[in-house]
Structure 1
Amino acid sequence: MPEVPAEPGLVVEEPGSGFCGAVVHCEAGTVTLEDRFGRHRVFPLRPRGFLLEGRVVTLVKPSSGPPRPTRTASGSVAVPHARARVARAGRIYVEGRHDAELVEKVWGDDLRIEGVVVEYLEGIDDLPAVVEEFAPGPDARLGVLVDHLVPGTKEWRIAEVVTSEHALVVGHPFVDVWQAVKPSSLGIAGWPDVPRGQDWKTGVCRSLGWPEDTGAAWRRILSRVRSYKDLEPELLGRVEQLIDFVTA
């Protein structure tokens, strides 16, 4: 049963409640987590009380000592013990839960310091209505990350409709955000080609010899992402672009 120091910024899940967040404070007997919406929860430091990248771990109070320079998973310079900024009115929307979880894992520390909240849409078809309701403006910019944003596609046409001075839609060329994870980080030669008309994620699992459980497959993929180095540059650049746009 591994013991893991509850260092600020470490992202874990408390399985009893399902609450997932980054460590913001730890003292004898308790740890405070902050989720991507800025909500705080305090939990006791129980043995085998948390999940770290799907593994059961025991969080322990970090040993005292001089702070060590480090970097966040996105490559930014870490700010030890920095408090999360109050959430901005601006937002970043992504297409689905997997996109949101990947952005949180790599850019979560940066987003909390900047006060940027990431939400997911469950698809892009309703994006025009979402943007209209959000009503982007100078003090409430909206950034949207879209899968498979290539000229001529449905996604491309929707993006053209909603893009404005205060709403930016960017995307990557991948069919799904799974493909934004480098094959080398997963120990595979490349992402398989899935025939048209077949569910892409199920086809990937079948081609790679994985159980046809897309939820389990995603947990497997996400667990191998440790930093920006595990992601393709086509995704890295777009997320950084959205963060810059929303915080400008």
Structure 2
Amino acid sequence: MRSYRPDLTPPWKRPAAVPEVPAESGLVVEEASTGFCGAVVRSEAGAVTLEDRFGKHRVFPMRPRGFLLEGKPVTLVRAASGGTGGRGGTGGRGGTGGRARTASGSVAVPGARARVARAGRIYVEGRHDAELVEKVWGDDLRIEGVVVEYLEGVDDLPAVVAGFAPAADARLGVLVDHLVPGSKEARIAQSVTDPHVLVVGHPYIDVWEAVKPSSLGIPAWPSVPRGQDWKTGVCRSLGWPSNTGAAWRHILSRVHGYRDLEPALLGRVEELIDFVTA
């Protein structure tokens, strides 16, 4: 005998249940009705404050199914710490305010030994991307046994994927710069269809731009005319020496943790770690 709710809604027409996720500080979500994407900075009774990549804050009610986490509907609930603890996700991230944290916001595990490397990998475009990921997520990656390698560009990504030979126990995650509609990078990413490969990206021309300007003491990243080398143009506009290697060392030195990075990068790296370790 089929069971109905008091309103006579049959089971096959009821909305699918979605997980409840604590609104921990730094959790990157998208508000379903407006598309506003940002990191949680505060949660209160019935409301959550998000900060987008431009530093804009917006407050939203925590309605059922009101947010998307990595593209999937969730219901946000107030974090036990009021949104001031760590984030949800892989590597021991959770609401345990007061405990030591890694640079990524995960719960630190004192004395934890690095896990033997998995067959799966995360590929990023270049050395700077790899160094930034290592600085913020290095502790998490070692505990999870995930190795990060860099490609020196994505032009040969389909061949790289074929050579890696992904499988269910050897997943491949790829982080791409400037992954926006109509770009060369987007066309290359769309050509990779292996179910054991996840290609995600951020909208920035270079990973430098994923570091918040406020962390560097600048008002904004400068606009560089098309046809000019972006990094060289940035150094020129900011009055930095025209040594891009030295400029990157300065930028990286100002990154102390996930709060120094834009949510558009944070969410993508977390997504890749989850995919490779699933």
Q: Following superposition of structure 1 onto structure 2, how do residues 1-248 of structure 1 map, counting pairs within 5 Å?
A: 69-248=99-278
Between the aligned residues of both structures, percent identity stands at 83
Q: Give the alignment's TM-score, normalised by structure 1.
A: 0.72
4+ long deviations beyond 3 Å = none
SS at match of 1:162: coil
1:122 deviates by 0.4
Q: Deviations over 1:178-226 (max 9, x none)?
A: 0000000000000000011000000000000000000000000000000
Q: Deviations over 1:5-58 (max 9, x none)?
A: xxxxxxxxxxxxxxxxxxxxxxxxxxxxxxxxxxxxxxxxxxxxxxxxxxxxxx
Q: Distance in 2 between matches of 1:82 and 1:200?
A: 40
User: How many equivalent pairs are there?
Assistant: 181
1:123 deviates by 0.5
Q: Distance in 2 between matches of 1:163 and 1:191?
A: 34
Q: Distance in 1 between matches of 2:270 and 2:170?
A: 18
Name 1:15's counterpart in structure 2. none
1:151 deviates by 1.1
SS at match of 2:128: helix
Give, as a single letter, the amino acid of the residue that structure 2 aligns with 1:223: S
Structure 1: stretches of 5+ with no match in the other structure: 1-67
Q: Distance in 1 between matches of 2:259 and 2:110?
A: 22
SS at match of 2:191: helix
Name 2:52's counterpart in structure 1. none
Give, as a single letter, the amino acid of the residue that structure 2 aligns with 1:219: R
Q: Distance in 2 between matches of 1:114 and 1:224?
A: 26
Give, as a single letter, the amino acid of the residue that structure 1 aligns with 2:122: I
Is 1:145–1:169's contact at 8 Å kept on the other side of the alignment? yes
1:164 deviates by 2.4
SS at match of 2:112: coil
Name 1:36's counterpart in structure 2. none
SS at match of 2:174: strand
Q: Give the alignment's TM-score, normalised by structure 2.
A: 0.64
Is 1:163–1:169's contact at 8 Å kept on the other side of the alignment? no
Q: Distance in 1 between matches of 2:274 and 2:140?
A: 11
Q: Distance in 2 between matches of 1:119 and 1:149?
A: 19
Q: Distance in 2 between matches of 1:162 and 1:117?
A: 21
Q: Distance in 1 between matches of 2:229 and 2:193?
A: 29
Q: Distance in 2 between matches of 1:129 and 1:118?
A: 18
Structure 2: stretches of 5+ with no match in the other structure: 1-97
Q: CA RMSD in A?
A: 0.8
1:242 deviates by 0.2
Q: Distance in 1 between matches of 2:193 and 2:257?
A: 30
